[in-house]
Amino acid sequence: MSINTLCTIFSALIGLCIGSFLNVVALRGLSGESIVYPPSKCPKCGKKLNWYTNIPVISYLFLGGKCQFCKEKISLQYPIVEAANAILYLFTYLNFGVSLKTLFIWVILSIFVLICITDFKERVVLDAHTYILMGTGLLYNILKLGTLSPIESLLGLAAGYLIFEIMAHFGTLTLKTRAFGEGDTLIAMGIGALLGYKMLILVVFVSVIIQALFAIPALFIKNLKNKNYKTCWALAVIVCSIAALKFLDANSNSYIFYLLGICMVLLCCLLVILKGIKTDKQEQNLSYMPFGPALVFSAFLMIFFSQKILSFFI
Return the range that interacts with Zn ion (CB under 5 A); candidates 68-76, 101-109, 121-129, 242-250: 68-76
Q: Is 72 in the site for Zn ion (CB under 5 A)?
A: yes
Q: Is 63 in the site for Zn ion (CB under 5 A)?
A: no
Q: Please identify, using beta-carbon distances, which residue of 45 and 263 lies nearer to Zn ion.
A: 45
- Least CB distance from residue 43 to Zn ion, whole Å? 8
Q: Please identify, using beta-carbon distances, which residue of 43 and 217 lies nearer to Zn ion.
A: 43
Q: Residue from 45, 98, 103, 128 that binds Zn ion (CB under 5 A)?
A: 45
Q: Residue from 6, 33, 38, 44 that binds Zn ion (CB under 5 A)?
A: 44
- Least CB distance from residue 307 to Zn ion, whole Å? 49
Q: Is 69 in the site for Zn ion (CB under 5 A)?
A: yes
CA distance 269 to 152: 34
The 3-state secondary structure of 82-98 reads HHHHHHHHHHHHHHHCC
CA distance 26 to 24: 6
Return the range that interacts with Zn ion (CB under 5 A); candidates 25-33, 62-70, 80-88, 248-256: 62-70
- Cis, bond preceding 38 (omega within 30 deg of 0): yes
C-alpha separations of 29 from 8, 22, 26, 51, 80 in Å: 31, 10, 5, 23, 19
For residue 55, give every residue at least 6 positions away whose Cβ sits within 8 Å of its Cβ, in sequence order, or none: none
- Least CB distance from residue 46 to Zn ion, whole Å? 7
Q: Please identify, using beta-carbon distances, which residue of 67 and 105 lies nearer to Zn ion.
A: 67
- Least CB distance from residue 71 to Zn ion, whole Å? 7
Return the range that interacts with Zn ion (CB under 5 A); candidates 40-48, 135-143, 152-160, 203-211: 40-48
Q: Is 70 in the site for Zn ion (CB under 5 A)?
A: yes
Q: Residue from 67, 134, 199, 204 that binds Zn ion (CB under 5 A)?
A: 67
CA distance 292 to 295: 5
- Least CB distance from residue 78 to Zn ion, whole Å? 14
Instruction: Provide the binding-site residues for Zn ion, judged by CB under 5 A.
Output: 42, 44-45, 67, 69-70, 72
